[in-house]
Amino acid sequence: MTALTDHVPDKHIHPAAPRKSLGTTAWENLPQALVKLDPRHLVRQPVIFVVWVGSVLTTVLSVLDSSVFSVLITLWLWATLIFANLAEAIAEGRGKAQAASLRQTRVDTAARRLLADGSEEQISGQDLKVGDRVVVEAGQVIPGDGDVVEGVATVDESAITGESAPVIRESGGDRSAVTGGTTVLSDRIVVQITSKPGESFIDKMIALVEGAARQKTPNEVALSILLTVLTIIFLLAVMALQPMAIYSGDRLHLVVLVALLVCLIPTTIGALLSAIGIAGMDRLVQRNVLAMSGRAVEAAGDVSTLLLDKTGTITFGNRQAADVLPVAGVDRTELLRAAYLSSLADETPEGRSIVDYALAQGFTADITSTPELLRTGAEFVPFTAQTRMSGVDLPDGSRVRKGAGSAVAAWVHAEAGHMAHDVDEAVDTVSRAGGTPLVVAVQDVGMPPRQLGVIFLKDVVKPGMRERFDQLREMGIRTVMITGDNPLTAASIAAEAGVDDYLAEATPEDKMRLIKAEQQGGRLVAMAGDGTNDAPALAQADVGVAMNTGTSAAKEAGNMVDLDSDPTKLIDIVGIGKQLLITRGALTTFSIANDVAKYFAIIPAMFVGIFPGLAALNVMGLSSPKSAMLAAVIFNALIIVALIPLSLRGVAYRPLSATAMLRRNLLVYGLGGLIAPFVGIKVIDLLVSLLPGMA
């Protein structure tokens, strides 16, 4: 993993799905935009459905009483509908292209299922059930999603992530999950299947990127309700104009009333709203992050507390044993032996590094392998997040433990009733150096437990992290580092990285309590995790980002999956979520300001014949009422096309305070929304006034 000092470059789920120019994409998606003219589709978008009803009405009126004005108004109303559908079709089209490339990775693979007696049988991958164990060797395709329960291998995941570099998948730890359809390049592994046929990770990815699983987010629903209410209000207002006109001695043509209604209602944001949401999820997909729902993307934009695991996120994560510090009266060889034995059952990278370090220091175990220990009756105590210790109970009755200082101290105290050796000074020395201390203790037969010394695990903070956290602070986001290290080590790393707070010696229960406490204060919480012990916290967090390399339980619990398994990407996910909210807000601001400007073009033109005094409001100096109406309708359609690239790309996000962001939006999109119609409608009016029948 590398530290991110800027946004992650855009990547694609599959290299066979390159980006095309907007013009090419628009032409390719035009047929789909025409299909979306079906009223059964448009009825789900009330604003656009009103435009469709108006277009049908003006079409009938143009046939019954044809004129250049009515025909042109009708054609541009239909163009407005097509442009509105085109924005959504382009956004969906990108997902369909990615889904098509993913479907190419799905093959019916033969599986070597392990039977209870240790023998194998060949079956189709479609016949596998949850809990089955399969053998996969070099050159073979993994038949289904699962966790590696035996062995270690390099795996080609380019079909999923687009990355050609192979990755390591191994039993134990948090890098055990494998995805069906990927290929083992070396060695042999045993995989326990965790998903049913048809419900694999690739199947879920296809549904998500294709848009089939997308639902409107709460903010999107709220904005849709607001737009619907505004549409109803303007509909009632337009319906009231005809009686007023008749009372004043004139009658307005129905085509004019429809044109007025379409220009008054918020058609711009109504047309782009769906595309903005789809494009937000698409931007995550470009960065190899799958959002299980639009709600998660939206929540990322409102996150106020960010929980980050220390190992692999803030630090490089490859903690390695660098030294051992024996206490007074303990021989270094004795400490190395105990460290070696207590780490044999520890499948974490740290545990394995301790075994390697002990052997590299010249220690030769009297019993050197795990199988030999098991044959002699030894019982291993594996490391867990709850006990934070690992060790072994030897056949002679002696016991060896290694783990966090407080956990080992509690074990020693519970067994002996007093502290055999004080290792606080050694623990503090390692902690102040920014390392992770692991205390080693042993209990000989008939003797109380005694602490032998401390193992020094060394880790390094990733470069650029302080700058990233400074950016988050400017955005109003509080960062909390979560670690299983003791408070001194946690404080040292937190100060070096520049986080706002830290949680030391964290258990899964501690993470849950912290998340709930933040949420009770009205804050939205985001966190990243990869282990089974992270699953409860991922499920509780408002934005839970599971690593693709993590366990199946973690991926099921989170509402996002990072295919690159880069926890620092959580910072970019927050930026993308904020960009989605800013884009929606900016275009809504532009749309409303845009509509206000159109009122000055249309209303004076409509009623100047009845109330000549309204001519003073014709500040644009438009040629005639008909040309003014047609120019406004044309501008209303073209502005949708002009804003499609912005809705798909998103408004550029900068880490600003809410006040500064609002000020910027009002100046750029509010003021721009007022000025653009004055310029655009005037230019179009000069052109359409040359047409016959526009006087």
Residues assigned a catalytic role? 309
Q: How far apart are CA 573 and CA 647, in angstroms?
A: 18
- On whether 396 is known to bind a ligand per the annotation, the reply is no
The sign of the CA dihedral 602, 605, 608, 614 is positive
- Cα angle 129, 132, 136 (rounded to 5 degrees) comes to 115
- Beta strands 167-170 and 188-193 are unpaired
Whole-Å CA distances, 566 to 170, 529, 619: 18, 10, 56
- Beta strands 305-309 and 525-529 are parallel
CA end-to-end distance (rounded Å), the chain? 68
Candidates 260, 254, 271; CA nearest to 59 is 254
- On whether 386 is known to bind a ligand per the annotation, the reply is yes
- On whether 300 is known to bind a ligand per the annotation, the reply is no
- On whether 590 is known to bind a ligand per the annotation, the reply is no
Structure tokens at 568: 């620092």
- On whether 117 is known to bind a ligand per the annotation, the reply is no
Q: How many CB atoms lie within 10 A of CB 85?
A: 26
Candidates 175, 525, 231; CA nearest to 348 is 175
- Cα angle 580, 87, 658 (rounded to 5 degrees) comes to 20
Residues 456 and 437 sit within 8 Å (Cβ to Cβ): yes
Amino acid at 321: A
Q: How far apart are CA 477 and CA 492, in angstroms?
A: 21
Strands of 90-238, DSSP E: 110-114, 120-124, 133-137, 146-150, 152-156, 167-170, 177-178, 183-184, 188-193
Q: How far apart are CA 88 and CA 38, in angstroms?
A: 14
Q: How far apart are CA 239 and CA 484, in angstroms?
A: 67
- Cα angle 591, 681, 29 (rounded to 5 degrees) comes to 60
- On whether 244 is known to bind a ligand per the annotation, the reply is no
Q: Is 506 exposed, middle or buried (0-12, 13-18, 19+ CB in 10 A)?
A: buried
Residues 209 and 98 sit within 8 Å (Cβ to Cβ): yes
* β-sheet bridge partners, residue 120: 114
- On whether 163 is known to bind a ligand per the annotation, the reply is no
Q: Is 666 exposed, middle or buried (0-12, 13-18, 19+ CB in 10 A)?
A: middle
- On whether 534 is known to bind a ligand per the annotation, the reply is yes
Q: Give the chain's length.
A: 695
Residues 527 and 509 sit within 8 Å (Cβ to Cβ): no
Q: Is 58 exposed, middle or buried (0-12, 13-18, 19+ CB in 10 A)?
A: buried
Report residue 331 CA to chain centroid gap.
51
Angle of helix 267-286 versus helix 46-64 axis, rounded to 10? 130
Candidates 509, 499, 571; CA nearest to 534 is 509
- On whether 462 is known to bind a ligand per the annotation, the reply is no
Amino acid at 297: V
- On whether 388 is known to bind a ligand per the annotation, the reply is yes
Q: How far apart are CA 290 and CA 296, in angstroms?
A: 10
Candidates 153, 144, 139; CA nearest to 124 is 144
Residues 665 and 585 sit within 8 Å (Cβ to Cβ): yes
> 434: left (phi > 0), else alpha (psi -120 to 50), else beta?
left
> 670: left (phi > 0), else alpha (psi -120 to 50), else beta?
alpha
Structure tokens at 195: 């998903």
Q: Extract the annotated binding site for Mg(2+).
A: 530, 534
Residues annotated in a binding site for ATP: 346, 350, 383-390, 402
Q: Residues comprising the binding site?
A: 346, 350, 383-390, 402, 530, 534
